[in-house]
Amino acid sequence: MNMTINFCGVTFPNPTVLASGILGVVGDSLKNVVINGAGGVTSKSVWLTRHDGHPGPVMMGTQNFYINAVGLPDGGIEKAREELKKYMEWNESQPEEKQVPLIGNIVAGSIKDFAEIAKGMRQIGPDIIEVNISCPNVEDEFGRPFAHCAISAGAATEIVKKNAGKIPVIVKLSPNVGNIGEIAKACEASGAEGLTVANTFGPGMVIDIDTAEPILANKVGGVSGPGIKPLAVKKVWDTASAVKIPIIGMGGVMTGRDVIEFMMAGASLVGIGAGVYYRGVEVFSSVVAEIEEWMVENKVANLQNIVGKALKK
Ligand SMILES: Cc1cc2nc3c(=O)[nH]c(=O)nc-3n(C[C@H](O)[C@H](O)[C@H](O)COP(=O)(O)O)c2cc1C
């Protein structure tokens, strides 16, 4: 039985990937996720310089969803370098079959800064660079996330590609657009080697009815967790129908069956974010065991063969 996935020329031992922002950039946290079975790890979004997030409360969750407005707090590229290097050194010391790729996620507020942060991440040398153009708090000169406009999305992709050297570049899209296929095509045409679909939905709001006030200090936040899964699966389907480059799908993944569903919609790898809050860091080994069980029951020898299966019918 083969669960290995080749994505942008990089080998992932299984299709589960830690989503960006869930466990920061701390080397030991990333290592812990890998020890617990993840097939890939993504750093949280790294800025060029220190970036303060939003004041608290920044997050709340129910059994159906999480809402957050952490506001991408980060210590900047120099701090990230130390931590990501720690992970990379540990990973390289493992036997080859146990090594797990690192995806370095970058963010910026201008095209000029995207060039600089791409250079900084290239020097660190992760296996793949993921470009976050979809955070609701990071806007282009017209006041929108870059991912909300095909021209801005293409421009951010192009500048990162130019400065990333040989490292494959993937772009993280926003689900909060009418036609995600159009944005995906612009990124593909500008040199993206893959796409991540998608960031949080929203913005959403939760009101405390005892105080009649929004719970988050930022009032609104991005929504993740089980409730967004059907919406996210459709975004992956729409993206896979529009482009040829491979996709990391995510949004509400809790189980092995959820991973299979995203893969059938066209994802090659599948991110787990809020799932870590619901099932603990062990979610990765549990999900991998559930995928294995499904493969045995359904006589699937090679997992890569199910990518886009639902699209082809
Ligand atoms: C607390 C929190 C912080 C996040 N921070 C980032 C981030 O730094 N960069 C990014 O690209 N996505 C970030 N995300 C989005 C996730 O990577 C993911 O796209 C989204 O949560 C949907 O997946 P999920 O339902 O499995 O959580 C964050 C999500 C959460 C819940």
The confidence score (pLDDT) of residue 37 equals 98
Residue-level pLDDT at 140: 57
pLDDT tens for residues 67-102? 999 988 889 999 999 999 999 999 999 999 899 999
How many angstroms separate the alpha carbon of residue 95 from the centre of ligand 1? Answer: 30
Average pLDDT over residues 261-265: 98
Statement: residue 248 has pLDDT above 80:
yes
The yes-or-no answer on residue 135 being catalytic is: yes
If you average pLDDT over residues 184-207, what whole number do you get?
A: 97
- Amino acid identity, position 20: S
Inside any domain, residue 286: no
List the Cα angle 125/131/132 in 5-degree steps: 135
pLDDT at 24: 76
State the amino acid at position 151 in one-letter form.
I
Q: Which two tokens stand for residue 72?
A: 């991408």
Q: Three-class SS of residue 254?
A: coil
Give pLDDT, residue 294.
98
Burial of 264 (0-12, 13-18, 19+ CB in 10 A): buried
Number of domains making up the chain? 1
- For residue 248, being part of any structural domain is answered with no
* 251 lies in some domain: no
- In a domain? residue 305: no
CB burial readout 128-164, b (16+ within 10 A) else e: bbbbbbbbbbbebeeeebbbbbbebbbbbbbbbbebb
CA distance 128 to 173: 16
Q: Identify the pLDDT of residue 48.
A: 95
Quick check: CB of 174 below 6 Å from ligand 1? no
Instruction: Give the whole-number percent of the chain exceeding pLDDT 70.
Output: 98
Check 8, 135, 149, 187 and give the catalytic one: 135
d(CA 186, CA 273): 26
Residue 41 lies in a domain: yes
Q: What's the CATH number where 119 sits?
A: 3.20.20.70
- Mean pLDDT over each residue of the chain, to the nearest integer: 95
**Residue 311 falls within a domain, yes or no?**
no
For residue 196, what are the domain limits?
5-223
Share of the chain above pLDDT 90, in %: 90
Does the global pTM surpass 0.85? yes
pLDDT in tens, 47-58: 999 988 889 999
Determine which residue's CA is closest to atom 10 belonging to ligand 1: 20
In a domain, 179, yes or no: yes
Kindly report the number of other CB atoms within 10 A of residue 255's CB atom: 17
Would you state the pLDDT for residue 297? 98
Residue 34 CA, ligand 1 centroid: distance in Å:
18
Query: Does 147 map to a domain?
Result: yes
